[in-house]
Amino acid sequence: MNTKLLLTKITCLLLCCCPRLAAQDSLRTEVSAGPATVLQTGTPVAPSKAEQRVERYRRTLNALIPSYNKIQFLGGMGLVSVGSGWDYGKHNQWETDLLFGLIPKYNSSSAKITMTLKQNYIPWNLPLKNRFSIQPLTCGLYLNTVFSNKFWTREPDRYPSGYYGFSTRVRANIFIGQRFMYDIPDSKRFFAEAIGVFYELSTCDFYLVSAFTNRYLKPRDYLRLSFGIKLQIF
């Protein structure tokens, strides 16, 4: 009788201990979690140097992908300019554009291509109704150049030193403007997640100096109006 009672107690003890032992054994197994190997106990294993290099490489490639596309008309960068850009900052308040424009032939011998590097700052983005929003102030500066041997960076020798004082190939510009955005519904996001229209008032270094040195000039003589479309991809 005592033997049967002893066997019964041993059996009950084994049944209670086996699940606990199995659980402890499973905690020692390893699972792969991203670039690092993690124990199921919750203790992470540091990624190898090769895995770290791959992760840095991926982040660099992702950063090179443009966030949006733009089309801009006028603004001292050609009749029409197209390009892409990147937004960044805590609230995506900074933007950098790279645009290529076209100056038609008009009365010259041929049409010309321009390139513009533009830096934008957007301090506020105010939501409106029905997925619309307004950015009441956009401002910044940009440099643009013309690909043509008719323009020069340094004054040619045929002119006295300091005769012009400005490069005709590269122009520095400043601008202010506003932008209106529409957040596209998820079901209709085929090429972009948002679309916007904007306008800008700008002037270049040469016009700005002329405005201060020539009192006969009026704002329409040194200010330029431009407008465009922005397609937010990401």
Give tens-digit pLDDT for 204-224. Answer: 998 998 899 898 999 999 999
The answer to whether position 8 is within a domain reads no
Residue 20's pLDDT is 47
Please report which confidence band the pLDDT of residue 64 belongs to, taking 50, 70 and 90 as the band edges. confident
Sign of the C-alpha dihedral computed for residues 220, 225, 97 and 112 taken in this order: negative
Residues 53 and 87 in one domain: no
Is the pLDDT reported for residue 199 higher than 80? yes
- Of the listed ranges 54-63, 119-128, 161-170, 191-200, the least confidently predicted one is 161-170
1 belongs to a structural domain = no
Q: Above 60 in pLDDT, residue 88?
A: yes
Same domain, 53 and 128: no
Contacts of 34 by beta carbon, 8 Å cutoff, 6+ apart: none
The C-alpha atoms of residue 91 and residue 127 are separated, in whole angstroms, by 14
Q: What is the CATH number of the domain that holds 97?
A: 2.40.160
31 pLDDT more than 70:
no
One domain for residues 110 and 217: yes
Whether residue 167 is contained in a domain is answered as yes
Per-residue confidence (pLDDT) for residue 61, from 0 to 100 = 83
Tell me the C-alpha distance between 184 and 232, whole Å. 10
Side-chain-side CA neighbours of residue 73 (13 Å): 6
Show the CA angle centred on residue 31, arms to residues 50 and 61, nearest 5°.
35
Say how far residue 179 (Cα) sits from the centre of its chain. Answer: 16
Would you say residue 16 lies in a domain? no
Question: How many CB atoms are located within 10 Å of the residue 101 CB?
Answer: 23
Overall average pLDDT of the 106-116 stretch: 91
Phi, psi of 119 (to 5 degrees): -115, 125
125 & 39 share domain: no
Number of domains in the chain: 2
Q: Across the chain, what does the average pLDDT equal?
A: 83
DSSP annotation of 187 reads: G
Position 46 scores a pLDDT of 81
Residue 207 domain-assigned?
Answer: yes
Give me 89's structure tokens. 């900052």
Residues in the chain: 234
Residues 51 and 108 in one domain: no
**53/123 same-domain check:** no
The Cα-based distances of 174 to 82, 179, 224 in angstroms read 19, 16, 11
Give residue 12's pLDDT: 52
Domain, as residue range, for 126: 66-232
75 and 35 assigned to the same domain: no
CB count in 10 Å sphere of residue 8: 10
- Same domain? For 89 and 158 the reply is yes
Query: How far is 117 from 97, CA to CA, in rounded Å?
Result: 6
Q: Is residue 9 part of a domain?
A: no
Q: Are 89 and 124 in contact (CB under 8 A)?
A: no
pLDDT at 21 over 60: no
- The C-alpha atoms of residue 94 and residue 125 are separated, in whole angstroms, by 12
Mean pLDDT value of segment 17-37 = 44
Q: Where among 40, 64, 88 does a domain terminate?
A: 64
Statement to judge: residues 57 and 135 lie in one domain: no
56 & 129 share domain: no
Say if CB 86 and CB 98 are below 8 A apart. no
- For the whole model, what pTM was predicted? 0.75
φ and ψ of 5, to 5 deg: -65, -40
